[in-house]
Structure 1
Amino acid sequence: MSKPVRIWGIPFTPMTRPQAVEAIMALAEAGRPSYFITANLHYAMLTHQHPVLGSINERAAFVLADGAPIVWASRWQRTPLPERVAGSDLIFDLCEEAAARGLRPFLLGGAEGVAEAAARRLEALYPGLRVAGTACPPHRDLEEEEFDRLIARIREAQPDLLFVAFGQPKGELWIDSHLERLGVPVCVQVGASLDFVAGRVRRAPLWVQRISMEWAYRLSLEPRRLGPRYASNALFLLRMIAHDLASWNQGERSARPIVSGDVLELKREEFETG
């Protein structure tokens, strides 16, 4: 595996989509609990706001670039990232490969019925795929007994891959906190990917994805929800571009992370429940 390339303080591993699939399958077949992260621009911003995510990124098996701005920013580096590796594409790739290798995924999270619908579609798309199970915890703080039952349910199913749709950064924090208890060889937070798979949310046409405008398509579908988030992302991106340009002018090839002194560290316990 290639040495990580640090973009805005996050260690991204240079991988193409096929290389990522092979690396993930190797983790699944190794059998030891692990996780990887697909980091987009929003997650990069969250990492700067919440320092606890920095250590989670370092403990990950690897971090993949799930955002065109991150790939573009890497071109300032000596080793640019080869391409965007989107989690919403990987879930299909991994399930296709899992079907061929006899590996079983577990789908966790999303709105009521989404995980079940996604499981049915994946099994229809890839004959031979056996989804180990699905679960959709209520969108509230779980009682301790409910929380324990959820983890026990996943352990009993003995999946090889766990796709978690809890949102950022809740999913990454939850996986990191319970990795050993879960005992799943490969875990990953997948964001809206289950909604895409289930057909509850339309993904941008391929030509829109290819010109790196998928964000604009999603904004047109959910302007009220995504508008404030994308505005914050845009301000963060401008800040990072300005920092990268200043570093370039000073002859630096890689930028150190910028974290303002008044940022409050994210409390892990706030994200302990599913």
Structure 2
Amino acid sequence: MQVRPVPETAPLLDTANVAEMAVAPGKVNILGVGVSAIRMQDATATLEQWIARRSPGYVCITGVHGVMESQRDPTLKAIHNAAGMVTPDGVPLVWMSRMLGFPQVERVYGPDLMREMTALSARRGYRNYYYGGAPGTADRLKEVLTRAHPGLQVVGTCCPPFRPLTPEEDAATIAEINAAQPDIIWVGLSTPKQERWMAAHLGKLSAPAMVGVGAAFDFLSGQKPQAPRWMQRNGLEWAFRMATEPRRLAGRYVRNNPAFVVGALRQLVDRRRFPQMRSTTPLQ
């Protein structure tokens, strides 16, 4: 099923004191962004609970890029801190979480989370929807994953254009997605577009889970290569991605990576600026 695209607008949030927002229990405060203190099994269990309860929420898959963009954009930080789950997508966030006293944290990488939930969906009948990617990517993703997982239900795909859409187009798209009755909407728009889209549509879409997975559409459809596992495990995936897409990504990494290192060191030296929470129980 193809649907018409929706605008990538931000929700109306009160950001007056967003830098001082309390981070929810079960999240590690990393430069003011609450990152869930979880492992992969916690993330999949949380999504399954949302589906069982039919209680809508959205998931931010966040690495250094998302944390640093949130330093520059208070609304994006507020969107992260309002999310039901913010997974530690990048190894630097895992290292930082452990140094801040959360030794159980493991990487919950977007493509791996999508793989895990796709396998569960095929076994348990969860209905999936793919929103995002370049023209043809979502359909290619559907083809690849349904072939790999017999019984997987993909109830719709949509590749939105870059232009903003009218309120009427947005309303029509919401109606069509809701008519497809997905359990999980996978959103591949990249940060910060996907976070803004999910927050803007929370409460409008009936799906229990929206998960912003960025480049996972390209990786899992086979349209872009992934870094070798040894690079992923050692925090070097950024170098591989920059080498494969230098024009698009070099500026991001040059701008964000050194700034994150400086900010992380400052936080570790003066932890009072970013007080942690009392519980390490993952937010369900």
TM over 0.5: yes
Find the counterpart in structure 1 of residue 109 from structure 2: 86
CA distance in 2, matches of 1:150, 1:21: 27
1:206 maps onto 2:225 in alignment: no
Find the counterpart in structure 2 of residue 237 from structure 1: 260
Find the counterpart in structure 2 of residue 52 from structure 1: 75
Is the CA contact (8 Å cut-off) linking 1:6 and 1:254 kept in structure 2? no
Range with greater deviation from structure 2 (135-144 or 156-165): 135-144
TM-score by length of 1: 0.87
1:162 maps onto 2:185 in alignment: yes
Residue of structure 1 aligned with 2:120, choices 93, 97, 103: 97
Range with greater deviation from structure 2 (132-141 or 204-213): 204-213
TM-score by length of 2: 0.84
Identity of aligned residues (%): 36
Find the counterpart in structure 1 of residue 164 from structure 2: 141
Find the counterpart in structure 1 of residue 62 from structure 2: 39
Change (3 A) 1:65 1:81: farther
CA distance in 2, matches of 1:53, 1:236: 18
1:18 maps onto 2:41 in alignment: yes
SS of the residue corresponding to residue 172 of structure 1 reads helix
SS of the residue corresponding to residue 226 of structure 1 reads helix
Q: Which amino acid aligns with 1:108?
A: Y
CA distance in 2, matches of 1:36, 1:43: 13
CA distance in 1, matches of 2:168, 2:28: 42
Compute the RMSD of aligned alpha carbons: 1.9
Q: Which amino acid aligns with 2:184?
A: L
Range with greater deviation from structure 2 (46-55 or 106-115): 46-55
Which sections of structure 1, spanning at least 5 residues, go unmatched? 258-274
The CA deviation string for residues 53-92 of structure 1, in whole angstroms up to 9 with x for no partner, is 2322232112111111111112331223521110111111
Residue of structure 1 aligned with 2:215, choices 171, 192, 195: 192
Find the counterpart in structure 1 of residue 9 from structure 2: none
What's the offset of the Cα at 1:122? 0.9
What's the offset of the Cα at 1:95? 0.8
CA distance in 1, matches of 2:246, 2:78: 33
What's the offset of the Cα at 1:145? 2.6
Change (3 A) 1:245 1:16: closer
SS of the residue corresponding to residue 175 of structure 1 reads helix
The CA deviation string for residues 173-225 of structure 1, in whole angstroms up to 9 with x for no partner, is 11111111111100011111101111111111222222221111111101111
What's the offset of the Cα at 1:105? 0.7
Aligned length: 253
Is the CA contact (8 Å cut-off) linking 2:37 and 2:97 kept in structure 1? no
Q: Which amino acid aligns with 2:150?
A: P
What's the offset of the Cα at 1:245? 4.2
SS of the residue corresponding to residue 80 of structure 1 reads coil
Find the counterpart in structure 1 of residue 21 from structure 2: none
Higher RCO, Cα 8 Å, sep 6+: 2
Q: Which amino acid aligns with 1:48?
A: Q
What's the offset of the Cα at 1:38? 1.3
Q: Which amino acid aligns with 1:209?
A: Q
Q: Which amino acid aligns with 2:165?
A: L
Find the counterpart in structure 1 of residue 274 from structure 2: 255
Range with greater deviation from structure 2 (34-43 or 75-84): 75-84
What's the offset of the Cα at 1:243? 0.9
Q: Which amino acid aligns with 2:95?
A: W
The CA deviation string for residues 144-186 of structure 1, in whole angstroms up to 9 with x for no partner, is 3322222222111010000111221111111111111111100
CA distance in 2, matches of 1:16, 1:245: 23
Find the counterpart in structure 2 of residue 261 from structure 1: none
Q: Which amino acid aligns with 1:92?
A: R
Is the CA contact (8 Å cut-off) linking 1:110 and 1:165 kept in structure 2? yes
Q: Which amino acid aligns with 2:217?
A: L
What's the offset of the Cα at 1:256? 6.0
1:63 maps onto 2:86 in alignment: yes
CA distance in 1, matches of 2:152, 2:98: 38
Change (3 A) 1:13 1:238: closer
